[in-house]
Structure 1
Amino acid sequence: MNAPQRPGAAQAGGGIKPKADAAAPEAEPKKSKKKLFVIVGIVVVALAAAAYYFLVMGKEAEAAEPAPEPGEVFTVEAMSINLADGHYLRLGLGLQLTAEAHELDAAKARDAAIVLFSGKSVEEVSDPESRDALKGELAHQLDELYEGEVMGVYLTDFVTQ
């Protein structure tokens, strides 16, 4: 039978505890401190990520305006534009308006097209990649000139000579 042990008495397994066992209780608090720091670190990172998502990403989602609805296509009469080396370009445009826009002054679109295409070579305006780049630049300029009422440009007439 096991008799109650007196404080400081030898244990039934063979005497006095070795010093390594005496140090074991002190090692546990160090491990629990490490676990505590890891848990606190994870919580801080999770809170920072949540704050970033709600504060930054939420504002970006709110700031993104919905795409405007397309309206009618406004036709700009074809015009002849002087190119390099005595060549010319006959260019007609269709402007895709937003649903809010109705009628525009074609003079701004004609002027922007003349300024952009004048002096270009036939090769430059005939190359599909170059033509798409020029069309994109014209669309950007018209978006600014018409204050967002033009959302696209169509080339309705395109003849070089």
Structure 2
Amino acid sequence: MAKDEKDKATEEAPKKGGKKKLIMILAIVLVALAGGGYGGYLMFAPKPAAAEEKLVAGIVVPLDAVTINLADGHYLKLKMTLQATDKAAEAPDGSKALDAAISLFSNMDSKELLTNEGREKYKTQLKEKVIVAYTVEKEKEIMDVYYTTFVIQ
């Protein structure tokens, strides 16, 4: 009977050790997979736009008011201000911004501009055009456009 008990003890001992080894191997594999997955995510995840460009505000340039003909016999009196970045070598000339505004708003129906949603929608489009117009060698010189007067008659 002593032999039977010893045989049972020797049979059970490797099983316990085998389970511990198996658990440790599985834990190592899981940690490696998790680390690899996280590393892959960091490598291939899209980078946020804000992290790519950190624009620092520079000078503010107010522009003269301009009157733009709208399609339905109305007029838009628009005065805006440009927020330059610190990359701007000098105060930006407002001619490109005014040209972008005139080309965007000319012959537009006043009903589109009378709502807050319409005004903000076209402000976003104007801002995009102005930023492109003032980008020199991939350096953005303008970061924002502000309406200081927006009157439809």
The TM-score, its normalising length taken from structure 2, stands at 0.75
Match of 1:56 among 43, 52, 59: 43
- Shift of residue 138 of structure 1? 0.9
Q: Secondary structure at 1:77's aligned position in 2?
A: coil
**Structure 2 equivalent of residue 114 of structure 1:** 102
- Percent of aligned pairs with the same residue? 34
Match of 2:65 among 70, 78, 95: 78
Structure 1 residues 105, 34: closer, same or farther in 2, change over 3 A? same
- Shift of residue 36 of structure 1? 2.9
Structure 1 residues 77, 25: closer, same or farther in 2, change over 3 A? same
Deviation track 1:97-136 (CA, whole Å, cap 9, x = no partner) reads 1234223232211111011112222221121121112111
**Structure 1 equivalent of residue 147 of structure 2:** 155
**Structure 1 equivalent of residue 126 of structure 2:** 138
> For the aligned residues, what is the CA RMSD?
3.0
**Structure 1 equivalent of residue 92 of structure 2:** 104
CA distance in 1, matches of 2:28, 2:60: 60
- The list of structure 1 runs, each at least 4 consecutive aligned residues, that deviate by more than 6 angstroms after superposition, is 19-22
- Higher-Rg structure is 1
Say which structure, 1 or 2, has more relative contact order (CA 8 Å, 6+ apart): 2
- Shift of residue 44 of structure 1? 0.5
Gaps of 5+ in 1: 1-9
- 1:43 equivalent to 2:35? Answer no
**Structure 1 equivalent of residue 116 of structure 2:** 128
Deviation track 1:117-159 (CA, whole Å, cap 9, x = no partner) reads 1222222112112111211111111111101111111112211
Structure 1 residues 23, 99: closer, same or farther in 2, change over 3 A? closer
- 2:84–2:92: 8 Å Cα contact kept in structure 1? no
Structure 1 residues 16, 103: closer, same or farther in 2, change over 3 A? closer
